[in-house]
Amino acid sequence: MEFDKNINIREEVIKFFEEDGLLRQHFPNFEFRDSQLKMALSVADSLENNRHLFIEAPTGIGKSLAYLVPSIYYAKKYGKKAVISTHTINLQEQLIGNDIPLLKKTLPFDFEASLLKGKTNYVCPNRLRKACENSNALFEDNELITLEKIYRWSRNTTDGTLSDTNFTIEPNVWQTVCAEVNVCTNKTCGDINDTECFFQKAKHKVYKSDVVILNHYLFFTLFNAASKDQKNGFLYLNDFVIFDEGHTLEDAAAEMLVPKVSREMVKYHLLRLYNEKKKKGFLVSFPALQILPVVQNLMDINQSFFYELRRKVFKREFDKYDKLAKRIRDNGIIKNQLNDEIQTLIRHLKELKKFAKNDIVENEISDYIIRFAEMNRIINEFIDLKENDYVYWVELSNNNLDSNTTLCASPLDISGYLREHLFKENNSAVITSATLSINDNFSYYKNRLGGEVAEDVKLPTQFDYYRQVKIIIPNDNNLIPLKDSNTAYVNALTQWIEKTIKKTNGKALVLFTNSLLMKEIGNRLRDNLNEQGLELLIQGEGLSRKNILDRFKADINSVLFGLDSFWLGVDVPGESLSNLILTKLPFTVPDHPLIQARLEYIDSRGGNSFMDYSLPEAVLKFRQGAGRLIRSKTDEGIITILDFRILSKQYGKYFLNALEECPVDII
């Protein structure tokens, strides 16, 4: 059915969500939610008026439909493209697999939606053919088996992406056969009408789509490459953007705007060129290879450079490093030993182009040139501490003597960049999440993102927290986390965790901020819990996050100990999660170089780093953690806060005020 461009979007949104509206007509079990309608109308108004919007939408209101419906109407009416950006794959799959099909059945007109993934997620048929032709020069026996599986899969796959595979793929094999920015071009892939290229097909579908779904990291990768001079739109010349899971936006933007370089990254690409031990690699098929000794020399220099850097930056005490991340404050800490040899490598690679048999091979060479030039540039800029308002640090992957070493950098304040390029005039960016405000105020997050001009809406919860939740706070001054955990604190915390778990016979998610403390208490309690028939699941003991969550949901009486990633994005409705235990107010320890530098940056400009950064960040994470308990109107449970500072410190009220009103027992 054709779209009527004379419609009133606000009126259509009301007709869709009202009690006897379009959604109810198609789905009799649909439950009208006033907050869902309010959110949809707020999004519609911000789009119609080309304004930016922050909207806090608590769990349970159905926020994805609330932004999708007005976005689709607006995109169709004005010929614009709706860009929907999320943080997690789960939400992307929900949108494209559930919500979009539902709306295709329900809305009285046709629209197109597509999921866009990063280019390297797609297999390239041309590169795959070349890899098969040169397989013996490129791969080991086990990798050849994988290559054969990829080839067979490529003949039947519908979208050609990694997520469509059901077998394990070695990174080296996929890197050789996937689509690459500098390798796969319109020229090599052919016209859209006869191309085999999965990425080209996906990109063509995106151009024809009214709705494009992608993740924050890909958004900012494309955003950084898009023209900042265009007045209308962000990724395309005429689009608008909805950021769901918007509380992760700042970190995603900062990470994608500033690349990292590590020892293993340099080594990986050198081995792809040529592996001396295995006599394999891209260069094997070329004649008269004076370049091979250069590659091998770079392997040795790479190892030496990063070892010397680690030796200068880190102190090793007995069997471990004192810290795994150290800030670099002075430029010229080390000479870039790689620089001259990388330049030599690039010169040899350019000379190899005359041996290229086709455009694909020539583009492969160009890609290596660009990669090594970029890594060399990042290393030089790191050593020079080129940007004044950046923090630079070196990070180790673990305490092993041969651990991977990474050069890291991040802007201290990304608000100016986003204020200019994202929250620009006459465009619409909508940021939504369950946690964007602190005590009903959006100022903190708006300032962090440079979105001060945006309007804001805080929607009420659909849950009856006063009936569904009780908060318990022990009046025990032993429950004060110390920098160096003492016996009294660990004993008190262990006893309160065990006591609280018994209240509900398991069914408990226990959230920690310290892995060593979590493991120690887990070791203390495991036998006692097992005697009570309660399985204890501890993050980091071998199971993946998904598997540990699946087991927690399946075994109703089990207990799960989790760290940072379990404070957000965990959805366990029903009886399996009836008891949420927060072991500590989640202040970030300011010993990581990035956090330390952000605090110094705020103080140097006359701010108060604790009130302006540490406290708001902790309150937002606290709200995220507390939000794990109630996921539906039938859920009930207790939240136990095992940190005496919530009672003894002035700032404790900020945490309690951040929660929905419910009974509080101090025991």
Would you say 299 and 270 are in contact if contact means Cβ atoms under 8 Å apart? yes
Query: Do the domain assignments include residue 229?
Result: yes
A 10 A CB-CB count for 362 gives 17
- Report the alpha-carbon distance of residue 417 to residue 551 in Å, rounded: 43
Q: Sheet holding 536-538: strands in order across?
A: 536-538, 559-562, 508-511, 579-582, 637-641, 469-473, 664-666
Which pLDDT score, from 0 to 100, does residue 288 have?
A: 61
Would you say 471 and 663 are in contact if contact means Cβ atoms under 8 Å apart? yes
> How much is the average pLDDT of 23-38?
87
Helix (H, G, I), strand (E, B) or coil at 246: helix
Surface-to-core class of residue 317, CB atoms within 10 Å of its CB (0-12 exposed, 13-18 middle, 19+ buried): exposed
pLDDT at residue 645 is higher than 80: yes
Which pLDDT score, from 0 to 100, does residue 485 have?
A: 62
Do residues 193 and 50 share a domain? no
Query: Do the domain assignments include residue 529?
Result: yes
pLDDT at residue 160 is higher than 60: yes
> How much is the average pLDDT of 623-652?
93
Which pLDDT score, from 0 to 100, does residue 483 have?
A: 57
pLDDT (tens digit, 9 = 90+) per residue, 315-352? 887 677 778 899 999 999 999 999 999 999 999 999 99
pLDDT (tens digit, 9 = 90+) per residue, 251-283? 889 888 788 999 999 999 999 999 988 888 899
| Nearest residue to 617 via CA among 518, 519, 508, 513 | 513
Would you say 112 and 211 are in contact if contact means Cβ atoms under 8 Å apart? yes
Q: Which residues contact 176 (CB under 8 A, 6 or more apart)?
A: 127, 131, 138, 139, 272
Which pLDDT score, from 0 to 100, does residue 29 have?
A: 79
pLDDT (tens digit, 9 = 90+) per residue, 519-541? 999 999 999 999 999 999 999 88
- Report the alpha-carbon distance of residue 238 to residue 220 in Å, rounded: 17
| Nearest residue to 659 via CA among 332, 352, 435 | 435
- Report the alpha-carbon distance of residue 257 to residue 517 in Å, rounded: 34
Query: 123 forms bridges with which residues in the sheet?
Result: 178
Strands (E), 477-590: 508-511, 536-538, 559-562, 579-582
Query: 426 forms bridges with which residues in the sheet?
Result: none
Q: Which residues contact 608 (CB under 8 A, 6 or more apart)?
A: 602
Do residues 123 and 176 share a domain? yes
Number of domains making up the chain: 3
Which pLDDT score, from 0 to 100, does residue 387 have?
A: 87
**Residue of higher predicted confidence among 229 and 382:** 382
Do residues 611 and 482 share a domain? yes
pLDDT (tens digit, 9 = 90+) per residue, 537-568? 999 887 788 889 899 999 999 999 999 889 88
Within 13 A of 437's CA, how many CA atoms are on the CB side? Answer: 21
- The model's pTM: 0.86
Do residues 50 and 101 share a domain? yes
Q: How far is CA 318 from CA 10, 400, 589, in A?
A: 67, 11, 24
pLDDT at residue 642 is higher than 90: yes
CATH code assigned at 608:
3.40.50.300
Would you say 170 and 142 are in contact if contact means Cβ atoms under 8 Å apart? yes
Query: Do the domain assignments include residue 210?
Result: yes
pLDDT (tens digit, 9 = 90+) per residue, 425-481? 999 999 999 999 998 899 999 999 999 999 999 999 888 999 999 999 999 999 988
Which pLDDT score, from 0 to 100, does residue 182 have?
A: 72
| Nearest residue to 449 via CA among 180, 211, 249, 256 | 249
Do residues 18 and 136 share a domain? no
Do residues 553 and 445 share a domain? no
Query: Do the domain assignments include residue 409?
Result: no
Q: How far is CA 587 from CA 146, 522, 528, 618, 645, in A?
A: 45, 22, 30, 5, 12
Which pLDDT score, from 0 to 100, does residue 249 have?
A: 93
**Could you tell me how far CA 426 lies from the centroid of its own chain?**
28
Do residues 86 and 163 share a domain? no
Do residues 104 and 239 share a domain? yes
Task: Point out the domain boundary residue: 394, 429, 458.
Answer: 458
Would you say 102 and 159 are in contact if contact means Cβ atoms under 8 Å apart? no
Task: Point out the domain boundary residue: 180, 197, 214.
Answer: 197
Do residues 633 and 530 share a domain? yes
Would you say 175 and 46 are in contact if contact means Cβ atoms under 8 Å apart? no
Joined together, the tokens standing for residue 11 give 């009126």
Strands (E), 412-519: 429-433, 455-458, 469-473, 508-511
Surface-to-core class of residue 439, CB atoms within 10 Å of its CB (0-12 exposed, 13-18 middle, 19+ buried): exposed
pLDDT at residue 163 is higher than 90: no
Do residues 31 and 153 share a domain? no
Query: Do the domain assignments include residue 268?
Result: no
Q: What is the residue-averaged pLDDT of the chain?
A: 90
Which pLDDT score, from 0 to 100, does residue 99 have?
A: 93
pLDDT at residue 484 is higher than 70: no
What domain range is 609 assigned to? 465-666
Task: Point out the domain boundary residue: 406, 431, 458.
Answer: 458
> How much is the average pLDDT of 406-419?
93
Q: How much of the chain exceeds pLDDT 90, in percent?
A: 62
Query: Do the domain assignments include residue 289?
Result: no
Would you say 71 and 43 are in contact if contact means Cβ atoms under 8 Å apart? yes
Helix axes 339-352, 359-384, angle to 10 degrees: 170
- Report the alpha-carbon distance of residue 197 to residue 179 in Å, rounded: 9
pLDDT (tens digit, 9 = 90+) per residue, 280-311? 889 988 876 789 999 999 999 999 999 999 99
**Range with lowest mean pLDDT among 34-48, 227-241, 571-585:** 227-241
pLDDT (tens digit, 9 = 90+) per residue, 40-55? 999 999 999 999 999 9
Do residues 190 and 232 share a domain? no
Query: Do the domain assignments include residue 418?
Result: yes
Query: Do the domain assignments include residue 394?
Result: no
Which pLDDT score, from 0 to 100, does residue 233 have?
A: 86
Strands (E), 449-558: 455-458, 469-473, 508-511, 536-538
Which pLDDT score, from 0 to 100, does residue 134 have?
A: 85
| Nearest residue to 599 via CA among 331, 608, 212 | 608
Q: Which residues contact 664 (CB under 8 A, 6 or more apart)?
A: 470, 471, 472, 473, 656
Which pLDDT score, from 0 to 100, does residue 65 have?
A: 95
- Report the alpha-carbon distance of residue 541 to residue 563 in Å, rounded: 12
What value does the CA radius of gyration of the chain take, rounded to a whole number of Å? 27
Do residues 444 and 521 share a domain? no
Would you say 228 and 100 are in contact if contact means Cβ atoms under 8 Å apart? no
To which H or E segment does residue 215 belong?
Answer: strand 211-215
